[in-house]
Structure 1
Amino acid sequence: MAQMLALAIIVFILFIGEIVSIRTRAWIPSIFISGILFLLGYWTFFPSEIVAIAGVPPVVATLLIYLLITNMGTLLSLQELKQQWKTVLIALAGILGIVVILLGIGTLLFGFETVIVAIPPLVGGIVSALIMSEGAEAAGLTTLSVFAIVIYVVQGFAGYPLTSIMLKREGKALLRKYRNNELTEKTVLELENSEEKEELKMFSKLPDYYNTEFFKFFRLAFVGYLAYLVSTLAAPVVEISPFVLCLLFGVVARSIGFLERHPLKKANGFGFAIMALLLYIFDGLKNATPSMMLEILYPLFGCIIIGLVGMYLFSFVAGKILKVSKEMAFAVSLTALYGFPADYIITVEVINALTDDPKERQVLTSHMLPPMLVAGFVTVTIVSVILAGIFVGFL
């Protein structure tokens, strides 16, 4: 297949996903539709390496992850990051719910080894899925080795629409209060003014015409490199994901005036970066064959459904204690099923579907985006890898 044909086909799939999302006002997220179409494509006429043929090999995806996560850090302030302690606790409660309920009920239905292999990929990303897959393979559990990858690939299909529903309910409730002047004056001011004035303090004397797109890309890449460097230097003492550090370094870089807010968008690279990263994520569906899906259908959906029940119950209780709505608490916990960039994409889609007013969109963004981003990194990037390291020892 020619490179441009491959690119045209898979980008057209992303476009179809967007159309469905727009037409349904985000009730059906674009990423959900695109995932299904990619799956059907791999089962029919797609070459298995169609994403790489189109020009998005793993090395490019890794580059874009560094840039995108650093860029996401600039959407948060140090103050907002400190305020997200409730988000962290609720996200951890949701994961605890999955672990407790699956080990309790899931073990009786599917067996101990199946549940052990299922939990880390269910609450995490590709790293935890690979750890459990390789561990199962080493233990001679070939079917479970495949199961670890497939549950990672499929879990998002449950998480995407549920998250969209929860965020729409949360957003509608907030907009109703905002429009009816039911929010306190302090809350309104915090939400409306959360987007601070743009100021590159470290380059205040630099003429605007020198702040070119390349200069923005350079500063983003430099901050990403610092995150990688610190992660590498800390490795002998403690394992810290460079992607977690990218988020933190992005926050700090904006706070000290080294980066502006949303530099990747201002450099006209955000749309392309999101597109390429989504294509790389959907590339993981190439391993989910129809026969494989049929073989593990029962434990696959059983583990996801039972895990979601546990997640909802525990996040609901945590939300009650911390005075966070059940919708926002569940949405925050659901980020464990997909992480970045889906948490960002779904949240923005919902916000755009709820209102066209810039002020209202800013209010919704300030309320929903920071907790969704922070929760996604806590669950997928940190906790799931720790769980995988512990659980693989039981195989």
Structure 2
Amino acid sequence: MPQMLALAIMAFILFIGELISIRTKAWIPSIFVSGVLFLIGYWTFFPEDIVTIGGIPPVVATLLIYLLITNMGTLLSLDELKKQWRTILIALSGILGIVVFLLAIGTLLFDFQTVIVAIPPLVGGLVSALIMSEGATAAGLPTLAVFAIVIYVIQGFAGYPLTSVMLKREGRNLLQKYRNNELTDYAPLATGTAEEKVQDEKPKLFAALPEKYNTDFFKFFRLALVGYAAYLASTLAAPIVEISPYVLCLLFGVLARSIGFLERHPLQKANGFGFAIMALLLFIFDGLKTATPQMMLEILYPLIGCIIIGLVGMYIFSFIIGKILKVSKEMAFACSLTALYGFPADYIITVEVINALTQDEKEREMLTSRMLPPMLVAGFITVTIVSVILAGIFVGFL
């Protein structure tokens, strides 16, 4: 198969996934559609190495993981997170519930390695699934390598409808209080101008640099340098303690933005974010090439079991912490559920629910100010930060 034909077919599959997701307002996840189409392709006419033929060999995927996780770190603003400290605690408690219940109950039903592989993708996204899949492959566990990808592909089906139900209940309660004049202590969201100011900020160390010299290549250079620093730190620490370089990439990304070496979201500003996500998604689906129909049937039971057990643990823990922090059980569970999909699904679902609940502009503003910020922060904490850290830790148990 010619290289450009392979790339065109795979890009078309990703497009079909997005198209169906958009048409169904994210009720059918794009990842699920793309995963099914890749499976059909592998079972019919795809060459086994179609992803490599298309130009995404493992070495390129590793490079993009370093860049993407370092880029994730630059999205963290301590000031922004301070305002949502309750949300952060609730999101973390939901993840803790998944970990505790799967380790306590899941290990009674499934083997230990299956549970270990399931947890990071279940509380995270693309990168954590890839880390666990690669770890399982390196450990000689091909079925679990596929399992890590499949649980990432499927989990949105549990998260989307549950989140929508919880947010609708929360929204109705808020609207009733608002209409009865019992709810007046809300602050409108920041204006778009403030958001644009954050997006356009220049790194402090290069504030005096003329904009014409802050080229895409200069952004890539600084991003790669921070990624290398994380790799070097991991290598130097190896004799004392085993730390995943991916976890350090996240930490170093935060530090690099804090000291002004990197701007916020440099990969997007260097026009590389879209390609990086596309390439990593293709590499994720490359893991399905060994998934036979028989193997899919084998992992069906642990797949459904791990998701159900994890969700029960998430609900119980988020309910308890929400009760302590005086946050409704609906909002607490909705925030925790962002671990199953992250951004942009958390934004899309929240806005869709708000638009479905009311046509009044002031009521929409009230609901948006109350529901959107915690959902976005929760999604960032769970998918962007905690899942990568968990994957870096858990991969060592394989």
TM-score, shorter chain, exceeding 0.5: yes
**Partner residue of 1:19?**
19
- 1:370 lines up with 2:372 in the alignment: no
SS at match of 1:55: coil
> Is the alpha carbon distance of 1:16 and 1:214 closer, same or farther for their aligned partners in structure 2, counting shifts above 3 Å?
same
Amino acid at match of 2:346: T
In the TM superposition, 1:1-395 aligns within 5 A as: 1-80=1-80, 83=85, 84-104=88-108, 106=109, 114-124=110-120, 125-128=129-132, 145-168=141-164, 173=170, 182=183, 184-185=185-186, 188=189, 197=198, 198-200=200-202, 201-324=204-327, 326=329, 329-330=332-333, 343-347=342-346, 349-350=348-349, 366-376=373-383, 379-384=386-391, 386-387=393-394, 389=396
Q: Which runs of 5+ in 1 are unaligned?
A: 107-113, 138-144
CA distance in 1, matches of 2:36, 2:290: 14
CA distance in 2, matches of 1:44, 1:325: 49
1:99 Cα deviation from its structure 2 partner: 1.8
CA distance in 1, matches of 2:163, 2:193: 19
Amino acid at match of 1:202: L
SS at match of 1:343: coil
1:159 Cα deviation from its structure 2 partner: 1.3
Amino acid at match of 1:280: F
Which range is displaced more, 4-13 or 361-370?
A: 361-370
**Partner residue of 2:124?**
none
Aligned-residue CA RMSD in angstroms?
Answer: 3.7
> Is the alpha carbon distance of 1:258 and 1:72 closer, same or farther for their aligned partners in structure 2, counting shifts above 3 Å?
same
The answer to whether the 8 A contact 2:91-2:378 is kept is yes
CA distance in 1, matches of 2:162, 2:192: 20
> Is the alpha carbon distance of 1:260 and 1:385 closer, same or farther for their aligned partners in structure 2, counting shifts above 3 Å?
closer
> Is the alpha carbon distance of 1:309 and 1:386 closer, same or farther for their aligned partners in structure 2, counting shifts above 3 Å?
same
1:146 Cα deviation from its structure 2 partner: 4.5
CA distance in 1, matches of 2:368, 2:152: 26
CA distance in 2, matches of 1:185, 1:336: 26
1:47 Cα deviation from its structure 2 partner: 1.1
CA distance in 2, matches of 1:16, 1:241: 35
SS at match of 2:294: helix
The answer to whether the 8 A contact 1:234-1:240 is kept is yes
1:14 Cα deviation from its structure 2 partner: 0.6
1:120 Cα deviation from its structure 2 partner: 0.4
1:266 Cα deviation from its structure 2 partner: 1.5
The answer to whether the 8 A contact 1:95-1:333 is kept is no
SS at match of 1:75: coil
CA distance in 2, matches of 1:257, 1:153: 36
Q: Percent identity?
A: 53
1:55 Cα deviation from its structure 2 partner: 0.4
The answer to whether the 8 A contact 1:241-1:381 is kept is no
The answer to whether the 8 A contact 1:254-1:261 is kept is yes
1:304 Cα deviation from its structure 2 partner: 3.9
1:389 Cα deviation from its structure 2 partner: 4.6
> Is the alpha carbon distance of 1:168 and 1:234 closer, same or farther for their aligned partners in structure 2, counting shifts above 3 Å?
farther
CA distance in 1, matches of 2:371, 2:70: 22
> Is the alpha carbon distance of 1:302 and 1:175 closer, same or farther for their aligned partners in structure 2, counting shifts above 3 Å?
closer
> Is the alpha carbon distance of 1:329 and 1:61 closer, same or farther for their aligned partners in structure 2, counting shifts above 3 Å?
farther
**Partner residue of 1:140?**
none
CA distance in 1, matches of 2:8, 2:210: 39
> Is the alpha carbon distance of 1:347 and 1:192 closer, same or farther for their aligned partners in structure 2, counting shifts above 3 Å?
farther
Amino acid at match of 1:259: L
Amino acid at match of 2:99: I
> Is the alpha carbon distance of 1:19 and 1:365 closer, same or farther for their aligned partners in structure 2, counting shifts above 3 Å?
same
1:376 Cα deviation from its structure 2 partner: 2.8
CA distance in 2, matches of 1:97, 1:309: 8
Deviations 1:53-87 (A, max 9, x none): 10011111111111112222222212345643543
The answer to whether the 8 A contact 1:67-1:221 is kept is yes
**Number of residue pairs aligned between Structure 1 and Structure 2:** 370
1:19 Cα deviation from its structure 2 partner: 0.7
SS at match of 2:161: helix
> Is the alpha carbon distance of 1:264 and 1:350 closer, same or farther for their aligned partners in structure 2, counting shifts above 3 Å?
farther
1:384 Cα deviation from its structure 2 partner: 4.8
Amino acid at match of 1:264: L
CA distance in 2, matches of 1:285, 1:163: 22
The answer to whether the 8 A contact 1:122-1:336 is kept is no
Q: Which runs of 5+ in 2 are unaligned?
A: 121-128, 356-360
1:250 Cα deviation from its structure 2 partner: 1.9
TM-score, normalised with respect to structure 1? 0.78
